[in-house]
Each structure stands twice: as structure tokens, then as C-alpha cells.
Amino acid sequence: MRMNSLSLNHLRLRLGDTDALPQWLLVGLLSGLLTGLVMLAFHHALNAPLAWFLPDGDPENFEALPAWLRFCLPILGSLLLGLLMWRFAKHARVGIPHVLERLSYHQGRLPLPNLIIQFVAAVVSLASGHSGGREGPAVHLGAGTSSLLGQYLRLPNNSLRTLVGCGTAAAIAAAFNTPVAGIIFAMEVVMMEYTVAGFIPVMIAAISATLLLQLTLGDDVVFSVASLDIHRLEEVPFIVLLGIVVGLLAVLFSRVLVTTARWNRPPLFLRLQLAGLLTGLLALLVPEIMGVGYDSIGTILDGQGAIGWLLTLAIAKLLITAIVIGLGVPVGLIGPTLFIGAAAGAALGLIVHTLSAETASSQALYAMLGMGAMMAATLQAPLAALLALLELTLNPNIIFPGALAIITSTLTYRYCFRQGSAFQALLLSRGQDWRQAPLERFLERTAAHSLMLPKPPNCERLVDHDRAAQLAGLPQEWLLIDGENGPAAVLARSDLELFLQQHREGAGGRVLQADELIDLLELPGLRHDLSELDARATLREALTRMNEDNRDALYLIDDKGNPMGLLLRSDINHHFSNQKSE
């Protein structure tokens, strides 16, 4: 019995329930470690070539390249990208929008070929200086790795959704060394729900991935900032103004991104070449736009740069990033939003210093507030952005001004741009809707086999009186009637028992002859025709199958096609009613 409780089949059955926390601890740990290994490989695959050919061995030092190389490098990268995407066009969908699409329409099943394309294409794009972030590809890699783990173990489909959240949290946590922000990001942006059953494995995955990366790469933070604090409450209006300005920048970013993405008449190959040409031309004038730009963010946080330079950086990075991602370059947008917010915030900080140089807070504070506000508005993830600020600065004094700037920017964005986050707007531009009704979301979280009745006893369609009496005396509630191609229907055992009682001598009705056959598919009583469904399906898939086939019952089969049990529509309705009342 103990060995059976440790078997893989037992794990699959338990993970179908929403309260299988001990099992989820193990799965979350595996997800975090695997994602951490993939993130480690992605880090080295990207940083090794950059450190080799960029000056001073600095993987961010695109600014030190000669002008002709800054122009040619993105064009060469686009050529390689175009060939890659043309050769593997069927698997060219990548990034966080792809993850959201697979969650909404494919039960969180992320294909391996798309993951491999994302890995290679992201390395080519970022190594060739395209303006973008590594966090978007990292989320796809983490979510895909965890989804493939669930598919390999043949876990229930509702488990894949949670595993995608685990991989997402682990990827963000590993990218920024911010496990708490990674957890909330997964809940706010990808899973778009908060549940205790989902929160615990996601938390374990984020922590384990962060620990693995710290053990191998060290525990250095992405950005080094001094202790930040707001000096005077009189600066609150400036912080509100910062939130409004950054919120409007986020609106501009999303509008340019969506407008460019809708311009899909030219083939992807040509659009990628245009992206490379535009990046190369702009890099001649503003070399800081190349790559992720973390080195430029560090410079801004150190208090360097004039207002004109900062505004130029913010606008140039915003436009080129939105355009190249809209044209199809497979990079992320989280890193660039931090860059844009830092430059815009620092510019406003310099203006405040000009007005009151002696008492104004540091330029770095305004830069950091701009980073959080831009991230929160563009991703529509205010809590994740606030916690990212807290983890990056390790300073609780950032919470008050950070929350003020983030709330203002988020509200400004939502008022001016009603298509959701930048990722959600991209899905809508493709004609895909990520939104789910509360009932659908509830059904998506529960495996079909969690409400499964034990497999009823099989019986033939035609039975004699003795066989019918034997079936009527069984303890099971339902009888599974075999058809020509497997189970055809289920019959309530009590109705067969009532039928036999009514046809006994002296009990009324016609008396059955001893050798007379009884057709269980014609017998009066409660009977449901059946369709089959994989036991790994969710309740949403089960209800969809019932509606499509006009059925009120399904028999669930394992991965070998063997019947496992019975699922009734009435049990689904009862389960939902009970949860709703609680």
C-alpha cells in the first residue's frame, strides 16, 4: 500500500485535486530546479559570445563598438533570425503572448520545438544588439520547461496550468534575483488569479530556481542602488506627476507595439530585416538603445546624465523596442520598460532638483520609481512591480513613494488604453481573447478525474433474467452497458431492480419468461449515452465535450485507452454549487 502511494499513478491522481499540497511541493521543486538549469544555460549562451566580442569583456558594452559595427550587427542578426523563422515557420510563435495563448486555448501545453526556437532566436537577437529584454524569452523557457515536465509525467491538464506558473515565477526570480516579485508576476500576469493551492508550488519553484542561480552565479543583484528615501512630503505631487507621465509613456509604448504588430502584410522575413535596419540606423545616433541596456540603467541610477540625454534615451528606447517587437523580433519587453522608466524618472528628478536643489530627493529615487511605474503600467502588474522595487533596493522606505507612482501610472494606463497589458493587447490584435468567465476559470483548475465515480461493472446489452437479477443485486449505483465499439451507456442499477420487481408474477405488469432477453438500452429508466475523455482533462474540457456530444455522462480513460471511471454532468454542477456557496 505504501509503495502504491508513492507511485506515479498515485501522483497523477492526487494532483487532480486542488488540495494536493504535499505532492505539489515535490512538483514545484522539480519545476524550479529544471527551470534554473535552463536559465543557467540561457545565461551562458547569451553572455559568453557577448563577453568575447564586446570591448572590455562587458556583455552590455555595445556603446564602445565602432559605428559601422553598430549598424551592421543588428542587420546580420535579423538575417540569421529571418532564415531561422523561415525554416521553422510552424514554430515561430514565442514569448509571453505565446505562453498566454497556450494557457487559454491549449491547456498549458507548450511545444518543445517552440521552446528551442525561443532559446536560439533570443540568443541571436540579443547578441546582435536588438533592443529588447531577456526576461520575456526567459518566461517562455521557464514555462515551457515546466509544462514539458508535466507532459512527460502525463499529469492532469489542470496541473499543467500551475506548472506554467511555476516556470514563470522561477524564470523571473532567476533573471532579477527577486523571488517574491517572480511569484507575484506569475500570479498577476500569467495565471491571472490568486489561489493557495497555486501559490505554494509557485513559491517553491521561485525559491529553488533563485537558490540554484545564486549557488552558481553568485548573489549579486541586477542593479546596485544606494539607500533611497523621499526627503519631503512636498514631493508627493511630483511623484504623482511622475506616475502620470510614465503611464502615458506606457500607453504610447503599447499603441506603437500593437499598431506595428497589426502591420503583418509583409512576410516575417522582410519585417525582421526592417527591424534590423531601423535598429542599426538608430544605433548610429543613440548606441545605448542596443541590447537590454542594464549598463545604461546603472549609469542613470548613479546620477549621471543631463535632461536632454535622458529624454532622448527614453523616447528612442520606447520607439525602437515597440517597433522591433511588433515586427516580430523574439525579445522581451520587461527590461526595456525598466530602461524607459529609469530615464524618464531621472529626467523628472533633475527637474525637481532644479526647482529645489537643497531639499529634493535623489535622482536615483525618481529613476527607480519610474522603473516600477513603467513596469506596472505596461504589464498591468502593480503588486509585482512594487515588490520588485522592494527586493531590488532592500529598502522598505521605497514602498510609500513606489506605491504612489505605481498606482498613478497604472490608473493612467487603464484609463487611456483599455486593451489590458501589452501582452494581452498583442493577443487581441491576433483575434485571441485571454479572458475567461468565472465558471470556466473554476472548471479549468480541477481535473476531471477528481469527481470521477469508480468504474461501474460492465454488462452486455442483452441479458437474461438470471443475469439481470445478478446485476440488480450489485452495490454499485451504475451499470456500464457495452456496445459494439466499447461502452455505450450507463444505466441506473436501481431502475433495473425496479423493472424486475414490476415484472415479477403478482407484482403487476407482464411476467418475464425465464429465457426472455432484456435489452438494457431499451429498458425504461435513467440512462446516459456515453462519450470517452482522457482522464487528464480538466472539468472545463469535460463540460465542453458533454455539450458538443449532447451527453450528460463521460467515461474517463487512461493513457492506454482503458476505462477508469464515470463522470456525470450532475456531479460537476453539484461541485460548482458547493464551491460557490463556500
As given in the structure block, the three cell numbers for residue 534 are 482522457
Tell me the helices (H) and strands (E) count for the chain, helix number first.
24, 9
Do 492 and 391 share a structural domain? no
The CB density around residue 10, as the number of other CB atoms within 10 Å, is 13
Domain termination site, one of 386, 412, 435 = 435
Residue 359 lies in a domain: yes
Domain residues for the domain of 403 are 225-435
Residue 69 lies in a domain: no
Return the DSSP state at 105: H
Q: How confident is the model at residue 83 (pLDDT cuts 50, 70, 90)?
A: very high
The percentage of residues in the chain with a pLDDT greater than 70, rounded to a whole number, is 89
Query: Looking at 65-74, 125-134, 227-236, 463-472, which range is the least confident one?
Result: 227-236
pLDDT, position 323: 96
Residue 66 lies in a domain: no
The residue among 201, 244, 250 whose CA lies nearest residue 35 is 201
Domain containing residue 316: CATH number: 1.10.3080.10
Residue 371 lies in a domain: yes
Scanning 128-156, the segments in alpha helix (DSSP H) are: 135-152
Residue 65 lies in a domain: no
**532579477: which residue's cell?**
176
Give 569's contacts (C-beta < 8 A, 6+ positions apart).
543, 546, 551, 552, 553
Mean pLDDT of 186-211: 85
Domain termination site, one of 367, 400, 435 = 435
The CB density around residue 24, as the number of other CB atoms within 10 Å, is 26
As given in the structure block, the three cell numbers for residue 340 are 524607459
Q: How confident is the model at residue 371 (pLDDT cuts 50, 70, 90)?
A: very high
Rg (C-alpha) for the chain, rounded Å, is: 29
Do 407 and 294 share a structural domain? yes
**529553488: which residue's cell?**
208
Do 388 and 303 share a structural domain? yes
pLDDT, position 514: 62
Give 460's contacts (C-beta < 8 A, 6+ positions apart).
467, 481, 482, 520
Specify which of 133-142, 232-241, 561-570 reaches the highest per-range mean pLDDT. 133-142
Mean pLDDT of 518-545: 84
Residue 507 near residue 501, CB atoms below 8 Å: yes
pLDDT, position 72: 95
Residue 345 near residue 367, CB atoms below 8 Å: yes
Phi and psi for 569 in degrees, rounded to 5? -60, -40
Between CA 144 and CA 167 the distance in angstroms is 7
pLDDT, position 434: 60
The residue among 253, 110, 118, 261 whose CA lies nearest residue 190 is 110
pTM of the model: 0.82
Could you tell me the maximum CA-CA distance found in the chain, to the nearest angstrom? 107
Give 6's contacts (C-beta < 8 A, 6+ positions apart).
none
Residue 481 near residue 491, CB atoms below 8 Å: yes
pLDDT, position 11: 65
User: pLDDT for 230-239, tens place per residue?
Assistant: 767 778 889 9
Do 316 and 265 share a structural domain? yes
Between CA 521 and CA 566 the distance in angstroms is 18
Do 313 and 245 share a structural domain? yes
Do 214 and 114 share a structural domain? yes
Query: Looking at 214-228, 386-400, 513-527, which range is the least confident one?
Result: 214-228
User: Which one is predicted more confidently, 271 or 106?
Assistant: 271
Residues comprising the chain, all counted: 582
Beta bridge partners of 528: 490
Q: How confident is the model at residue 580 (pLDDT cuts 50, 70, 90)?
A: low
Residue 393 lies in a domain: yes
Query: Looking at 18-32, 249-263, 329-343, 374-388, which range is the least confident one?
Result: 18-32
pLDDT, position 224: 64
User: pLDDT for 390-413, tens place per residue?
Assistant: 888 777 888 889 999 999 999 999
Determine which helix (DSSP H) or strand (DSSP E) holds 530, and give its type and residue range.
strand 527-534
Beta bridge partners of 491: 479, 527
The percentage of residues in the chain with a pLDDT greater than 90, rounded to a whole number, is 39
Do 231 and 207 share a structural domain? no
Residue 309 lies in a domain: yes
As given in the structure block, the three cell numbers for residue 415 are 484609463
Q: Mark residue 120 as left, alpha or beta (left: phi above 0; alpha: psi -120 to 50; beta: remaining).
A: alpha
Domain termination site, one of 388, 408, 435 = 435
Do 144 and 33 share a structural domain? yes
Q: How confident is the model at residue 346 (pLDDT cuts 50, 70, 90)?
A: very high
Q: Number of folded domains in the chain?
A: 3
Do 265 and 118 share a structural domain? no
Q: How confident is the model at residue 15 (pLDDT cuts 50, 70, 90)?
A: low
273-290 burial: b if 16+ Cβ within 10 Å, else e: bbbbebbbebbeebbbbb
Domain containing residue 482: CATH number: 3.10.580.10
Do 153 and 249 share a structural domain? no
Residue 409 near residue 247, CB atoms below 8 Å: yes
pLDDT, position 574: 80
Do 184 and 53 share a structural domain? yes
Specify which of 40-44, 432-436, 498-502, 553-557 reaches the highest per-range mean pLDDT. 40-44
Do 395 and 256 share a structural domain? yes
149-168 burial: b if 16+ Cβ within 10 Å, else e: bbbeeebbbbbbbbbbbbbb
Query: Looking at 59-73, 134-148, 404-418, 551-565, which range is the least confident one?
Result: 551-565
